[in-house]
Each structure stands twice: as structure tokens, then as C-alpha cells.
């Protein structure tokens, strides 16, 4: 298990130093994520690389990951899912300064001297990675998929010409 990430960091200093942080965020610190899923399986993991881009913009890039349990909306049964999300966030000192950030980044306001709560950043990215409609993936067992396929088969009308064939056979018997 990776070491815990620090609670707060100074992102501008880390970006100037080109630091990379790898670690975990305890599930207990992810209350919003826990409330949005059936269950949170363990801690979240993150790898976050702070740097200055070619234009001198302080940013963090990396990945976050967590295992969660959701309810499949096809079969209404629990399903396990690994949430993985890329992180591309740039920092601005004021809300007004976010408009000057390159479009490739998500803007985050962190006032000079104020710290960035890493657990909140990780949790935000994981919440954004949640599927809008959770359902089992292709090849996974899902009772709802089987029911939908059976309903589709039952609703399929017989071939359009099958009725004509029956009429021809009736006519030939006369």
C-alpha cells in the first residue's frame, strides 16, 4: 500500500521544484465519493507530477484511481468498478486569472501562500470519472442484458413476407 499523500501542499513551490507525489488518500477522507457510490473499496491512489509548462503555468498532471461498488442500472445488481482518471489541472491565484490559463487544463484557484488539499483534488477527479449510468461492461455477467435481449427477440416481428407465403399456400389449396 502506498504511503499517504500529504494533507496540504503548496502547489506553486512543488511546480517550481518539478516534484512528483505518489501515494494514497484514505477512504475516510473521501466522504463525497463514498456518498455517491454503494461502497468504496479501500483507499484511493494518486500519482501527481507538479511542473511549470513551457509558458510558465504551474500545473499538475497525473492519474487517480479507486475501486468502488455501484448499482448496475440494467440489472439493479451491485457491480465493482475501478475508477481511473487523468489529472490536468493548472493553478491560478485569483478567479480572474483562470481565464488566462491554457484550455488544456482545468483551472483551480489557490491563493498565494494557501495550501492545496490533495484529498479534495483526488476526490473531485474521481467524482468526475463516475459513469452517468453505471452498467456492467461487455463480457461481464448482467441479468439485465439477458432480459433486454429476450424482450427484443420476443418483440421482433416475423418476417414481412412470411404472411404472404401463408396466403399463397392457402390459395394454392383451393
In a domain, 146, yes or no: no
Q: Which residue has the cell 504551474?
A: 58
Please tell me the distance from the alpha carbon of residue 144 to that of residue 25, in angstroms, as a whole number.
Answer: 34
Using one digit for the tens of pLDDT, what is the confidence trace for 71-109?
999 889 999 999 999 999 999 999 999 998 899 999 999
For residue 162, is pLDDT > 70? no
Residue 71 covered by a domain: yes
Angstrom distances, CA of residue 113 to CA of 19, 50, 69, 139, 161: 18, 16, 38, 50, 77
Query: Has residue 23 been placed in a domain?
Result: yes
- Whether 170 is in a domain gets the answer no
The percent of residues in the chain predicted with pLDDT above 90, rounded, is 66
Give Cα separations from 131 to 32, 34, 35, 69, 126 (angstroms): 15, 15, 15, 12, 10
Contacts of 54 (CB under 8 A, 6+ apart): none
Residue 173 lies in a domain: no
* Interatomic CA distance for residues 146 and 149, integer angstroms: 5
Return the H-helix or E-strand segment holding 36: helix 31-36
pLDDT greater than 80 at residue 54: yes
For 119-165, the DSSP string reads HHHHHHHHHHHS-SS--PPTTS--HHHHHHHHHHHHHPPPPTTHHHH
3-state secondary structure of 102: coil
Domain assignment present for 45: yes
- The strand pairing partners of 59, in sequence order, are 51, 90
pTM: 0.80
Number of folded domains that form the chain: 1
The answer to whether residue 169 sits within a structural domain is no
Q: In whole angstroms, what is the distance from residue 67 CA to residue 83 CA?
A: 6
Residue 112 is assigned to a structural domain of this protein = yes
- Residue 137 lies in domain: 8-141
Amino acid at each position: 500500500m502506498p504511503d499517504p499523500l500529504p494533507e496540504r501542499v503548496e502547489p506553486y513551490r512543488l511546480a517550481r521544484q518539478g516534484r512528483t507525489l505518489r501515494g494514497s488518500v484514505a477512504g475516510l477522507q473521501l466522504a463525497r465519493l463514498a456518498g455517491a457510490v454503494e461502497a468504496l473499496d479501500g483507499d484511493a491512489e494518486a500519482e501527481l507530477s507538479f511542473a511549470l509548462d513551457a509558458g510558465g503555468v504551474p500545473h499538475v498532471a497525473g492519474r487517480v484511481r479507486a475501486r468502488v461498488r455501484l448499482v448496475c442500472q440494467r440489472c439493479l445488481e451491485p457491480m465493482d468498478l475501478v475508477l481511473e482518471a487523468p489529472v490536468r489541472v493548472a493553478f491560478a491565484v485569483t478567479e480572474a486569472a483562470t481565464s488566462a490559463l491554457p484550455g488544456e487544463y482545468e483551472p483551480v484557484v489557490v491563493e498565494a501562500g494557501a495550501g492545496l488539499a490533495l484529498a479534495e483534488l483526488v476526490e473531485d477527479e474521481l467524482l468526475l470519472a463516475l459513469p452517468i449510468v453505471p452498467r456492467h461492461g461487455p463480457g461481464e455477467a448482467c441479468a439485465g442484458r439477458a432480459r433486454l435481449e429476450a424482450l427484443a427477440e420476443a418483440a421482433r416481428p416475423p418476417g414481412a413476407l412470411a404472411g404472404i407465403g401463408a396466403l399463397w399456400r392457402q390459395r394454392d389449396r383451393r
